[in-house]
């Protein structure tokens, strides 16, 4: 399920984002156990986008309240989501975090990655929210005690907007650091502070990096394909957009819209392909299924 969702995400980024820019993309290749410390402006879309870019398997620390329903919990666990319990979830549940950190420990021992939102909460924001929480340092120190060559990678996400479509998205990867930042520091609290300081310092720099807005020298040439993209997709997009707005609740609108497009657009293409095949034959159906995403992309670039 994880690989299916990852590939759907990569395809949907192509449809959803006018510009999708990666800074220091070499960081995606890290193979050692890794804690990804990320800002958190846009609900679970943040995890989806960052996780899709990493070469190693990523597991995601996720707020526990979304795991309440059994069928939702099964889906989330199948795509490597791990619940974390906050004080608002009840003091009696905080003890369950020991199990969460033990699961993360086992993941790192396998050489895989854990993504954690170091600000500790999700909020529409474009600046770093301090102080950083202690979850990432706790995992980092435990991994050192286990003898792992653990690294931490700060990552900053920036969105051109939290409501408009299409999006411009920047993922700025920092520089991975390891136990070298703890040289001469023995006390646990001081170690945690050193880890958070390095993470915070890098995130601050990454948050100030600006990429050029998307431009198209061929916008006039895209007008007709973009218009065809509107005509062929408005019966799909408008209902999905309205439903995403109604379902968003406490989850950010972008995340719901992105996931609905990711899972429903292939169904839309398949339906159009079947209808076209029945009316005009297989080759016309295959041409239609290839052409429709290209027209949708033309609209995204033109807009």
**Can you give the pLDDT at residue 110?**
94
pLDDT value at residue 140: 95
Report whether pLDDT(197) > 90: yes
Q: pLDDT value at position 176?
A: 96
- The count of residues in the chain is 303
pTM: predicted TM-score of the whole model, two decimal places: 0.90
Q: Are strands 17-23 and 167-173 parallel, antiparallel or unpaired?
A: parallel
- Pair 31, 113: CB distance under 8 Å: no
Q: Kindly calculate the radius of gyration of the chain based on its CA atoms and give it in whole angstroms.
A: 21
Residue 294 has pLDDT above 90, yes or no: yes
Beta strands in the chain (DSSP E): 17-23, 34-38, 58-63, 81-84, 113-117, 151-159, 167-173
Sorted by where each begins, the domain ranges of the chain are 2-207, 223-302
Q: Which of 114, 118, 97, 133 is nearest to 40 (CA)?
A: 118
Strands 81-84 and 113-117: unpaired
pLDDT in the model for residue 87 = 61
CATH topology of domain 2-207: Glycerol-3-phosphate (1)-acyltransferase (3.40.1130)
Tell me, what's the pLDDT at 43? 85
- Of 22-26, 105-109, 125-129, 294-298, least confident by mean pLDDT is 125-129
pLDDT tens-digit map of 232-249: 999 999 999 999 888 776
Range 100-118 average pLDDT:
93
Tell me the HSE value of 137 on the side-chain side, using a 13 A CA sphere: 22
State residue 156's pLDDT score.
97
Handedness of CA 129, 134, 138, 141 (dihedral sign): positive
If you average pLDDT over every residue of the chain, what do you get?
90
Structural tokens at position 89: 């979830």
């Amino acid at each position: 399920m994880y690989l299916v969702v990852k590939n759907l995400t990569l395809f949907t980024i192509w449809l959803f984002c006018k510009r999708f820019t990666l800074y220091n993309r070499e960081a995606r290749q890290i193979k050692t156990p890794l804690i990804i410390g990320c800002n958190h402006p846009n609900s679970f879309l943040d995890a989806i986008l960052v996780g899709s870019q990493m070469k190693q398997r990523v597991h995601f620390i996720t707020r526990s309240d979304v795991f309440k329903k059994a069928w939702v919990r099964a889906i989330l666990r199948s795509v490597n989501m791990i619940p974390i319990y906050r004080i608002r979830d009840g003091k009696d549940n905080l003890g369950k975090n020991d199990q969460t950190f033990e699961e993360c420990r086992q993941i790192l021992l396998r050489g895989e990655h854990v993504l954690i939102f170091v600000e500790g909460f999700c909020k529409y924001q474009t600046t770093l929210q301090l102080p950083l929480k202690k979850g990432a340092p706790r995992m980092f120190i435990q991994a050192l005690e286990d003898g792992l060559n653990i690294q931490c990678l700060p990552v900053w996400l920036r969105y051109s907007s939290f409501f408009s479509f299409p999006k411009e998205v920047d993922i700025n990867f920092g520089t991975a650091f390891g136990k070298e930042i703890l040289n001469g520091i023995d006390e646990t609290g001081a170690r945690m502070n050193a880890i958070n300081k390095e993470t915070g310092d890098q995130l601050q720099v990454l948050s100030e990096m600006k990429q050029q807005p998307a431009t198209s020298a061929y916008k006039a040439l895209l007008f007709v394909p973009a218009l065809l993209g509107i005509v062929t997709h408005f019966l799909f997009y408008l209902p999905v957009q309205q439903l995403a707005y109604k379902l968003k609740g406490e989850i950010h609108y972008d995340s719901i819209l992105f996931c609905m497009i990711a899972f429903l657009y292939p169904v839309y293409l398949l339906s159009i392909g079947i209808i076209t095949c029945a009316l005009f034959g297989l080759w016309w159906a295959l041409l239609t299924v290839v052409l429709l995403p290209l027209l949708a992309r033309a609209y995204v670039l033109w807009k």
